[in-house]
Amino acid sequence: MDLTLVAEGLQFPEGPIAMADGSVLLVEIQRQTLTRITPDGTRTTVADLPGGPNGAAIGPDGAVYVTNNGGSFQFYDMGGLNVPGPTPDSHKGGSIQRVDLSTGAVTTLYEACDGKRLVGPNDLVFDRHGGFWFTDHGCSTPDGRRYGALYYAKTDGSRIVRARDHLISPNGVGLSPAEDVVYVADTMLGRLWAFDVAAPGELVPPAPLQPGRVVCNLPGYQLLDSLAVEADGRVCVATIINGGITAFSPDGATQHVAVPDVITTNLCFGGADMQDVWITASGTGKLWRGRWERPGLKLNFGA
């Protein structure tokens, strides 16, 4: 895939959203901002989001909803590559936030579920009903890993449910075209999970001893990050170490497209035919644009 550089000098970009005016909204986790990138690469700050803004999506009211990990990892320069590291001792937990695009005002919607603090919210996707699924990545500690989970919530702050817990490192999340499956990429396992949806915020009970269905486990040492779904149901997941995008068919077949960054973290589709793709290359702080060979799935509440 031929790639065009849109912007560079970004501080660990993630959560890209293709806007109708040709700009891209994204978060810069290390800079702690929601940022707008125009087609000529100009960067402007939409809102300051202290902690660690990690994922972003347009909601039914036109606002941007952000999964903020609360600063769940530090950053290190490894020979010019910006690498996220261990969770700092100061980390207390993350939140779900709403950003008004017209004013930049930030509202915190959720910090806990059933009295248990959110650890490191990571990514989110809205269903057609206006609610959203989101992942909590958990975090690493000197004594081991704190588990993550898959949640569902409403935008008015009235409902948040933990739909599946004790997941190792849930990251990217997306819905099938029929919205009967929610996909979750597990970073450390290199695994794409599929969870069957019974109703908004409710999953079909899993088989004994199984959190969900395994679509595919990548071979060797490959890490999975955020994702976007294609119109035909393939799931495209940003892939770390083997830097690029891995497209998973529902039957487990894979296709890998290389990106010049071993820490490729996310992508989004847009354009008139939904075949324009924007990719966040976070280790090098770049936003790339290319043409995907198939159209992406149009999100429920795009710009």
Q: And the tokens for 137?
A: 């990545």
**Residue 251 contacts by C-beta under 8 Å, 6 or more apart in sequence?**
none
pLDDT at 143: 86
Indicate yes or no: pTM above 0.85. yes
pLDDT at 242: 98
pLDDT at 243: 98
Q: Which domain holds residue 64?
A: 18-220
Mean pLDDT of 168-197: 98
Tell me, yes or no, whether 286 lies in a domain: no
Tell me, yes or no, whether 238 lies in a domain: no
The total of other beta-carbon atoms located within 10 Å of residue 189's CB is 17
What single-letter DSSP state applies at residue 263?
Answer: B
pLDDT band, residue 142 (cuts 50/70/90): confident
Total count of domains within the chain? 1
Tell me, yes or no, whether 254 lies in a domain: no
Binding site for a divalent metal cation, by residue number, is: 171, 225
Tell me, yes or no, whether 237 lies in a domain: no
DSSP 150-193: EEEE-TTSS-EEEEEEEES-EEEEEE-TTSSEEEEEETTTTEEE
CATH code, domain with 170:
2.120.10.30
Give me the active site residues, please: 225
Tell me, yes or no, whether 191 lies in a domain: yes
Tell me, yes or no, whether 175 lies in a domain: yes
Binding site, by residue number, is: 122, 171, 225
CA atoms within a 13 Å half-sphere pointing along the CA-CB vector of 24: 29
Tell me, yes or no, whether 300 lies in a domain: no
Residue labelled with tokens 């990251």: 171
Tell me, yes or no, whether 6 lies in a domain: no
CA 15 to chain CA centroid, Å, is 6
